[in-house]
Amino acid sequence: MHRRRLGALALVLLAAAVPREAMPEACPAAGDGRQRTYRNERFGILMRYPSVFALDPDSVPENGDSARFWTADRRATAVVNASRSKEGRELGHFLAEAEEDILRNSRGEVTYRRRRDNWFVLSGYILDRIFYRRTFLAADGTLATLWLEFPRALRPCLEDAVTTMSLSFRPM
């Protein structure tokens, strides 16, 4: 099953392939090679992230509803947001809303979408950047989103990081 997930994620990243004419950029510094764990106790969120990303301590507000992670060169970013879904809306509503925001407001292109019982993934392009969005709706009504964004040329550099972060992003 784990292999199937990785295969599906690889398809997401392949769908966002770098055009052959694009010049490769240097990869961000790899950090110390270890993985760290982000825990949001208020909303019950857990995510592992590789040391190529660092948590920006200034990005975590007192209410704990978000956190931002950067590569050292700040070309790639990951943001975790969480809230309680007060309206009792279903996951399908949030998926439609997210896709409309990407297509209409950001003028992006969705190249991959997947939905399961309590989560969905959208991936594609906004201008010259790849985006990857994973959102889950927990049983307690927590709506949590992981948003990653980076230049297309960094896809080969960040494939493993996206896989690690995506597969580990879940309720505690």
**Two structure tokens written together for 146:** 């992981």
With respect to residue 24, please indicate whether it lies within any of the assigned structural domains: no
With respect to residue 89, please indicate whether it lies within any of the assigned structural domains: yes
Q: If the chain, 172 residues long, is cut into consecutive pieces of 10 residues, what is the mean pLDDT of each piece?
A: 45 42 67 90 94 88 85 95 80 92 91 95 96 94 95 94 96 91
With respect to residue 133, please indicate whether it lies within any of the assigned structural domains: yes
pLDDT for residue 25 = 64
Work out how many domains the chain is built from and give that number.
1
pLDDT for residue 6 = 44
With respect to residue 28, please indicate whether it lies within any of the assigned structural domains: no
With respect to residue 135, please indicate whether it lies within any of the assigned structural domains: yes
pLDDT for residue 22 = 47
pLDDT for residue 31 = 79
Q: Residue 80 sits in which domain range? A: 2-18+33-171
DSSP track, 31-65: TTS-EEEEEETTTTEEEEEETTEEE-GGG--TT--
